[in-house]
Amino acid sequence: MRKFPNIIITGTPGVGKTTTATQLIELAETESASFSEKIPLKHLSINKIAKQHNFYESYDSELQTHVIDEEKLLDHIEDVIADGAGDGGWVIDWHVCDVFPERWVDLVVVLRCEDTQVFYERLTTSKNADGESRGYEGKKLEENVDAEIFGTVAEEAREAWPEQGQVVELKSVQAEDVEENCERIWEWCKQWVKNNAEKQSGEEEGDGGGD
């Protein structure tokens, strides 16, 4: 059983997944110093992994995007993330969430940018994690703006994790939202670790209690 929770930070490209994952991990590092136990969160950027290992199946020229070979991707990350594969603490950062087995993940955070103007500007002018300009246009821009308006990723997340409370939608319009979201996720992490430790010690006591 994992000691630390696995979290997915998902949402339409441009909602702030990488920004949030990075800040959350920084916060965990700083705050762990004053918390009785360190919670070592680690970033799992699926886009980076797919690029690094060339887990691409094809290229969709209309949407100007690589189609990822999900089987290869899951095979690759299974060793580090699946049940029994270490202590957990992964912060998975990807716009797709419903390909991961339900039991690999403890919390699904769907970031939402409800201000369409702000979102549009992010997709057209902002830079991605590699410092490349996003410069979305045409069908790619239209599809992503529509997906954000209709909450497509949130719907996929709720279908994949139907259990109450596993999926949370958080607003990501301004920089202060990122800060607030990271604080909330961090509080949740601490609580999870505490509950989990209690559960495990309860189970151990239960194991030894029989005659």
Binding site for ligand DAT (CB under 6 A): 11, 13-19, 122, 126-129, 172-175, 177-178
- 3-state DSSP percent of the chain in helix, strand and coil, to 5: 50, 15, 35
To ligand DAT, the closest distance from the beta carbon of 196 in angstroms equals 28
Cβ at position 15, least distance to ligand DAT in Å: 4
**Residue reference for tokens 């990822």:** 68
Burial environment of residue 187 by CB neighbours within 10 A (0 to 12, 13 to 18, 19 or more): exposed
Please report how close the Cβ of residue 117 comes to ligand DAT at its closest, in angstroms: 13
Q: Which is nearer to ligand DAT, 170 or 193 (CB)?
A: 170
- Which residue number has the CB closest to ligand DAT? 16
Shortest Å distance, C-beta 205 to ligand DAT: 43
Of residues 24 and 189, the one with the C-beta less far from ligand DAT: 24
Closest to ligand DAT by CB, 124 vs 166, is: 124
Residue 125 and residue 78 in contact, taking contact as beta carbons nearer than 8 Å: no
Buried b (16+ CB within 10 A) or exposed e, 80-93: ebbeeeeebbbbbb
Q: Which is nearer to ligand DAT, 13 or 88 (CB)?
A: 13
Q: Is 129 helix (H, G, I), strand (E, B) or coil?
A: coil
